[in-house]
Structure 1
Amino acid sequence: MSGLMQYGEVRFEAHEHYQKQSYRNRCYVQTANKVEALTVPVQQGTHHQPIRELRVANDQAWQMHHWRCLQAAYGKAPFFEYYAPEFEPVYHKSWTFLFDLNYELLTICLKLMRLRVSISLTEWYDKAIPVGLFDARSTVNPRNGPETYVFHKPVAYPQNFGVDFVPNLSIIDLLFCQGPSALDVLKAGFRE
């Protein structure tokens, strides 16, 4: 989200090949006992498959698991009751494509953060990015450490569990815990 905030216009790569072990089908939330990865299962045959064509494996009850985990982790968070009605329908819908699910979640988060960003989708995959554009396709990856943060340095805010701040959780953590102040928290961590 920090990266989107710093640019007025963003082009989302809609034709890249799906990358396993990336944020494309997972996020992290803090529960009472640990940080849990919420992973959307995808159908087999993902090697060299364009992200727009990647199908969600709906034979698993991932939606119910994700929603219950969010309720348990954030049900007592200050802004859960306010924002949960925006997210809950996402977890009651059967999604065909991972890209569509991600785009819907992004749209909700941008709305709740009151961010106006012009988003367009690429029409084909370009390995080389045109001059003047910043290529962030491979910069945000769960395997990269804090030293590779391009857009922001995490700023501590009160979270639902524990006394130690846990960085790099889903934007949902920030929204449920900070509500309308979430945007200010992100801005405080901008890299110059």
Structure 2
Amino acid sequence: MKRVVVDLHFIPCLEFFTAVVDADEILVSPDELYQRQSYLNRTRIRLANKVESLSIPIQGRRPRLPLNKVLIDYSQNWQKIHVRGIQSAYGKAPFFEFFFPYIEPVFEKKHASLWDLNYEMLTICLKLLRYSGKLTVCQKIDEEQVDLDLRGQIKPSGSFLERELYLPVPYAQLFGSDFEPNLSVLDLLFCMGTEAKKLLLSSVKN
């Protein structure tokens, strides 16, 4: 039985999912501390002319708090900006109409904490990928019972090429002739649909 512990990212990238797609159990903890300049509150999508980061504003500056204590800032209109960005990026993608109705309602809620938002989004993404394992919330994680501990490893700084998790397998994206690897899993879902999980499995770096 393969058990993997990860940070709870916001709409995780493909590197994240190649690390967990073949796991029997994914472990996440609300007590893990918020990390600045991480994927905890950002994701990357591909627009017509560039790759864009969608970020969730949080209350306070540089909080050294557990993720379930990090509050989202709703004084900014970030939800509509995210929805418009996703629609602009993927509205014409082959599987947009199938999967977007699962994603859009999450942006219509006002989750109190970053943990609540990220957990719901990950649950939906795993469902759309037809993940067959279990997602488990643990207050404290026993490292001796974990096969792979990826906390603090998958991050925007540094290249995924330096890590031993993800080997990009190109697929047909909506814009441009050059393949852009390691975007949000939304890029893969909207472009590849039911083939997404198969492609992730073939992207696992051995």
TM bracket (short chain): over 0.9
Whether 2:28 is the aligned partner of 1:12: answer yes
3-state SS, counterpart of residue 148 of structure 2: coil
Equivalence map 1:105-184=2 (5 Å): 105-124=121-140, 129-130=143-144, 133-184=147-198
Unaligned runs of 5+ in 1: none
Q: Contact (CA 8 Å) 2:21, 2:197: kept in 1 or not?
A: no
- Distance in 1, Cα, partners of 2:139 & 2:62: 20
Unaligned runs of 5+ in 2: 1-16
Equivalence for 2:70: 54
- Please give the TM-score of this superposition, normalised by the length of structure 1: 0.93
Q: Contact (CA 8 Å) 1:139, 1:148: kept in 2 or not?
A: no
- Distance in 1, Cα, partners of 2:151 & 2:59: 23
Q: Contact (CA 8 Å) 1:29, 1:35: kept in 2 or not?
A: yes
Moved more, 156-165 or 110-119: 110-119
- Distance in 2, Cα, partners of 1:25 & 1:121: 19
- Distance in 1, Cα, partners of 2:105 & 2:19: 26
3-state SS, counterpart of residue 80 of structure 2: helix
State the 1:148 CA deviation: 2.6
State the 1:151 CA deviation: 2.2
State the 1:19 CA deviation: 0.2
- Distance in 1, Cα, partners of 2:146 & 2:141: 17
Greater relative contact order, per chain length (Cα 8 Å cut-off, separation 6+): 2
What's the % identity of the aligned pairs?
Answer: 40
Query: Which residue of 47, 67, 73 corresponds with 2:89?
Result: 73
Whether 2:122 is the aligned partner of 1:101: answer no
In the TM superposition, what whole-angstrom CA distance separates every residue of 1:59-79 from its partner, at most 9, and x where no partner exists? 111100000000000000000
Equivalence for 1:23: 39
Runs of 4+ in 1 over 6 A off after TM superposition: none
Give the count of matched residue pairs.
190
State the 1:166 CA deviation: 0.3
In the TM superposition, what whole-angstrom CA distance separates every residue of 1:8-39 from its partner, at most 9, and x where no partner exists? 01211321110011010000000011000000
- Distance in 1, Cα, partners of 2:125 & 2:164: 20
Query: Which residue of 53, 59, 77 corresponds with 1:37?
Result: 53
Equivalence for 2:202: 188
3-state SS, counterpart of residue 29 of structure 1: strand
- Distance in 1, Cα, partners of 2:24 & 2:158: 26
State the 1:190 CA deviation: 1.1
- Please give the TM-score of this superposition, normalised by the length of structure 2: 0.87
Equivalence for 2:103: 87
In the TM superposition, what whole-angstrom CA distance separates every residue of 1:116-171 from its partner, at most 9, and x where no partner exists? 22121221377xx3265321001111112133333221111010100000011000
